[in-house]
Amino acid sequence: MKIIATLLPLTLAAFAAGSAVAQSTSPPEGCAGFLTVHTRACTVSHYWRCEDAPEGTTWEVSHDIDGPSSLHVYDREFQWVDAFYFNTGTTERLYEPGPDPISISELLETGQDSYDFTTIEQTGDEVMKLNTRGRDVATGKTEVIDGVTLKTVNVSSETRDETGELIFAAEGKQYVFEDERLFMLGQESYFDGAERWQEDNTPREFIFPGEKGFDDFRPRYGCNALQASLLPPVSQ
């Protein structure tokens, strides 16, 4: 996927050009956005695809209240291929698909999909090889959110380092937008080996090209609650 290795750095350079750009960045030349999604968790994601990329390759750039937070690249099966996290400067790249790559086709056809693959994560000079294993199981139910029908999926996964130590685990409910072959986060619980927490990243609003707000990078939902939780306690 040479096109991915080429366009991801170009996209990151565009985001780094300045704070104004970070609020109105468009896809690189040869690419076009096809969907904007706001979530309950004070985030907004923009999705685009590029002419010269392998069919079905999708870019997702997410913003929170402070600006860009992450950029992901997925292949047609929604296997994670490349990622960059703005807050930490961490990159995560697919090292090898492994014995059981993610397959959204298998999930849609059979109702379940297991996966087992390896990524390389780098933050500064620190490099880690991580193995992720998990299973997605369709519930057989759908939910309609902002006029879009989504399939609901129960998910569970574990990520471990080369010593077998648990680095990250997740379980809960996600959504599949079948028409666009996209996974979207929902209500999940997480564990980083030390702490457990829950998040609700359920989609709230879907905006398509030509609709008002399609190019908006500012989250619309859940931000007041988030800001309130970050305020220092009132002195008595």
156 is written with which tokens?
A: 């569970």
Q: CA-CA distance, 85 to 79, in Å (whole number)?
A: 17
Q: What is the dihedral of CA 140, 104, 184, 186, to 10 degrees?
A: 40
DSSP-based three-state secondary structure for 215: coil
pLDDT in tens, 178-225: 999 999 999 999 999 899 999 999 999 999 999 999 988 899 999 985
Q: What is 2-229's CATH number, 3.40.50, 2.40.360, 1.10.3470, 3.30.70?
A: 2.40.360
The structure's pTM equals 0.86
Query: Which of the 8 DSSP states describes residue 111?
Result: S
Q: CA-CA distance, 117 to 4, in Å (whole number)?
A: 19
How sure is the predictor about 98, in pLDDT bands with cuts at 50, 70 and 90? confident
What is the structure's pLDDT at 13? 45
Cα separations in angstroms, 146 against 58, 192, 203: 22, 33, 9
Dihedral sign, Cα of residue 13, residue 180, residue 132, residue 195: positive
68 is written with which tokens?
A: 């860009």
pLDDT in tens, 18-30: 333 334 456 888 8
**Domain boundaries along the sequence of the chain:** 2-229
How sure is the predictor about 50, in pLDDT bands with cuts at 50, 70 and 90? very high
For residue 46, how many other CB atoms are within 10 A of its CB? Answer: 23
Query: Which of the 8 DSSP states describes residue 102?
Result: -
Cβ atoms 115, 101 nearer than 8 A: yes
Q: Given 3-state DSSP classes, what are the helix, strand and coil percentages for the chain, each rounded to the nearest 5? A: 15, 50, 30
pLDDT in tens, 56-75: 999 999 999 998 999 999 99
